[in-house]
A and B are shown apart, each in its own frame.
Chain A
Amino acid sequence: MWSSLVALRRLQRIAVAPLNITGGLTGSVHREMSTMKRVYVTRQIPPDGLKILRESGQVQFELWNSDDDTVPRKELLQKVKGVDGLLCMLTEKIDAELLDAAGPNLKVLSTMSVGFDHLNLEELKKRGIRVGYTPEVLTDSVAELTVALLLTTSRRLVEATHEAKTGGWGTWRTLWLCGHELANSTVGILGLGRIGVAIAERLAPFKVKKFIYTDVEPRPELASSINAEYVSFDELAKQSDFLAVCCALTPETKEICNKDLFSKMKSNAIFINTSRGGVVNQEDLYEALSTGQIAGAGLDVTVPEPLPTDHPLFTLKNCVILPHVASASYSTRNAMSSMAANNLLLGLKGKPMIKELKL
């Protein structure tokens, strides 16, 4: 069964609690309150991380105890006052306003994500706050979802399931719902990092003919592991039958996927973005898809998130949109939760984190 409530129960029994709960005080053992650091956790994170925080005996934490809703901004600004540590999601904007509200005790910020475009790094650096994040534990899951999205788009699975449900399925026909196959194709990667490499590794046995990539500069070590050739941005556009966007969102990559890119792409090309919505100019993408400039697109990330249901991209059969679920496997989210909790605790003890972001 799939509901997230059932998922929680399956992972661990959690007592029903009011929306703001306090934790960290172990039963019979008294601890000096002054040695306990104060921490705010902005969401009901998966059980492994909560368990680590509770059993550490090191922190007294408050939690926005909802898996479903984000903590309202006003509530957040109130709750962070005087905290030593903050564990947040990618849905919270960590900017000067919030850091001011938190005050000078805040020493450690731990985000349960690999992306950090929601963090104002300058402000964090200025205040000497250390930042933990969760790379690598989610690489497999994200690469897997990216390949799932690519195949769903190229083999038209959404159209197909719809036809099966609504009576469009007659008997077997020779050219009905034909898609484009990976065999003998060229796959292009925009931004070759851990995730880009992991995607290429998963695509290789589909008999991909060639892997190409572009980046700010060549990445020879990563590229050699997947036999990928470094090309210019333009060449990536021109040669790719499948183009996967795997770069971080920075001022340089903002809306780099725009009409300039799409106009150079092949008409049979499939475009996949599981990085950040801001890398794509959505109006230009709509134009490219609706005019047949490219064959199809799959997006796990959009601007904004969620994408309003009346957005023009939803009217296109050849555009598949997912609600940012790339790292959404039970084991991965638990691993992210654990890592975020451990990063936080280690940071508070002044020790090296498992994964610390260099500011």
Chain B
Amino acid sequence: MAVMQLVGYQLPLKHTHKEEELHIVLPCTSVVSSSCHSDFAGYLCYQCVVVQPLHKLHVVSPEEDFVHCGSLSRMQTIGKLMKVYITRRIPPEGMKILSSATGVCEVSMWDSDEPVPRTELLKGVQGAHGLLCMLSDKIDAELLDAAGPNLKVISTMSVGFDHLVLDAIKKRGIRVGYTPDVLTDATAELTVALLLATARRLPEGVEAVKNGDWTSWKPLMLCGYGLSGSTVGVIGLGRIGMAIARRLMPFGVKRLLYSGRTTKADAAEVSGEFVPLDTLVSESDFIVVSCSLTPETQGLCDKAFFSKMKNTAVFINSSRGAVVNQEDLYEALTSGQIAAAGLDVTTPEPLPTNHPLLTLNNCVVLPHIGSATYSTRGVMAALSARNLLEGLQGGEMPSELAF
């Protein structure tokens, strides 16, 4: 048995570590190992109490069943390695978990910061038991067919799942892991940053300073709209919507309105008033869209929507680009129907550099950085790795998508 296939095993194994002698290894000796990406792979022999390089580990009885003793609650006999494909280079916090995996897996990865090309992806997933993907990978019937019948778990490093064709996945009995909650703080923070930058015209200010348009302090230069005394409307008061509302309250928001399918129990914490969408649209000074993208919310923010808004109102979207009709938004911004807009998500992504929205002073466009903090991306990577491993072993995922 080749050494690399032993990566991720928990013993007992019998091994030779001196050339002549046979050392019996005690149960649950960990293999201190990592994936092919690390510099050192080795094992700890409890008998010798020393770490040895992996190449010295020889399996004496290859037919023996290896006992996986990762979780105390169950034991499982694993006959052979499972295949995992990762569609992108992920932060070290995630790689570390996969490489010291307690399951049996052999990891292949598109080792780049850029998305894996479709043809490469379709090849790479062949025979995979588990797939760890990004929101840029469309997981549809074509891909699932290319992967084949082994595929039992898909773990996405995102909270959004509109890139997953759920009925095709469900039909094949594949489980799905995702990353809610861990990115709530970073995304809410970015949404508030975007709202403030848009309402207080920071990008215009920065440009004016660089271009020499700033000649002296002027009473009405770059005046914007403040939150103090305002009405804020949140469309979709879910985890992220609530986190946004909590962060806005101390800015002196007078009323917090929200709209969605149902009332929310924790809305009371922010004195949230559940209102019909039309009421929210017409009465809000700031509208924040934080609902998920579904057939119902697709194109929700269109000409009719914008026409009902106040002409002093600011519109913010950090959910998914397709919730907004971008042509209608452009019209609304240029005709003075609304005051300004801030978008962290667009259709498509990236937005082409010649897109009309990028020409407007009163439109701030960010390149989908909602969860982009070092610590959050590391936590997302770790969580998606753990979701994947649990899914491979038939265990309980930390965050499984119910669908």
Residues of the A chain whose Cβ atoms lie less than 8 Å from the Cβ of B227: 144
Given the interface contacts A2-B361, A151-B189, does A177 sit within 8 Å of B372 by beta carbon? Answer: yes
Asked if A222 lies at the interface with its beta carbon under 8 angstroms from chain B, I say no
A172-B349 in contact (CB<8A): yes
Residues of the B chain whose Cβ atoms lie less than 8 Å from the Cβ of A171: 114-115, 136, 349-350
Residues of the B chain whose Cβ atoms lie less than 8 Å from the Cβ of A149: 202
How many angstroms between the C-alpha atoms of A5 and B318 in the bound complex? Answer: 31
Identify which of residues 141-167 in chain A touch chain B, using a CB-to-CB cut-off of 8 Å.
141, 144-145, 147-149, 151-152, 155-158, 160-161, 163-167
Smallest Cβ-Cβ distance to B185: which chain A residue: A183
* Bitwise interface map of B from 207 to 226 toward A, beta carbon under 8 Å scored 1, else 0: 01111101111111111111
Residues of the A chain whose Cβ atoms lie less than 8 Å from the Cβ of B115: 171-172
Smallest Cβ-Cβ distance to B113: which chain A residue: A173
A328-B222 in contact (CB<8A): yes
How many angstroms between the C-alpha atoms of A156 and B190 in the bound complex? Answer: 10
Asked if B172 lies at the interface with its beta carbon under 8 angstroms from chain A, I say no
A167-B353 in contact (CB<8A): yes
A174-B91 in contact (CB<8A): yes
Residues of the A chain whose Cβ atoms lie less than 8 Å from the Cβ of B215: 68-69, 306
A67-B211 in contact (CB<8A): no
Asked if A229 lies at the interface with its beta carbon under 8 angstroms from chain B, I say no
Asked if A4 lies at the interface with its beta carbon under 8 angstroms from chain B, I say yes
Given the interface contacts A68-B218, A329-B224, A330-B225, does A140 sit within 8 Å of B252 by beta carbon? Answer: yes
How many angstroms between the C-alpha atoms of A232 and B160 in the bound complex? Answer: 45
What is the predominant secondary structure among interface residues of chain A facing chain B? loop
How many angstroms between the C-alpha atoms of A89 and B220 in the bound complex? Answer: 12
Identify which of residues 153-210 in chain B touch chain A, using a CB-to-CB cut-off of 8 Å.
157, 185-186, 189-190, 192-194, 196-197, 199-206, 208-210
B193-A155 in contact (CB<8A): yes
B349-A152 in contact (CB<8A): no
A91-B91 in contact (CB<8A): no
How many angstroms between the C-alpha atoms of A331 and B199 in the bound complex? Answer: 13
Q: Size class of A's contact patch?
A: 35 or more
Asked if B376 lies at the interface with its beta carbon under 8 angstroms from chain A, I say yes
A174-B228 in contact (CB<8A): no
Identify which of residues 36-68 in chain B touch chain A, using a CB-to-CB cut-off of 8 Å.
none
Residues of the B chain whose Cβ atoms lie less than 8 Å from the Cβ of A207: 185
B249-A144 in contact (CB<8A): no
Whole-angstrom distance from the CB of A185 to the nearest CB of chain B?
A: 10
Asked if A28 lies at the interface with its beta carbon under 8 angstroms from chain B, I say no
Binding-face segment, A29-37, A43-51, A251-259, A347-355: A43-51
* Bitwise interface map of A from 178 to 192 toward B, beta carbon under 8 Å scored 1, else 0: 111111100000000
Asked if A332 lies at the interface with its beta carbon under 8 angstroms from chain B, I say yes
Residues of the A chain whose Cβ atoms lie less than 8 Å from the Cβ of B361: 2
Given the interface contacts A89-B217, A176-B113, A331-B226, does A322 sit within 8 Å of B366 by beta carbon? Answer: no
Enumerate the 4 nearest inter-chain pairs by beta-carbon distance, A residue then B residue, closest first: A151-B193, A148-B196, A329-B226, A323-B214
Taking Cβ atoms with an 8 Å cutoff, the residues of B that contact A are 88-91, 113-115, 134-136, 157, 185-186, 189-190, 192-194, 196-197, 199-206, 208-212, 214-229, 246-247, 249-252, 336, 339-340, 349-351, 353, 358, 361-362, 364-369, 372-377, 381
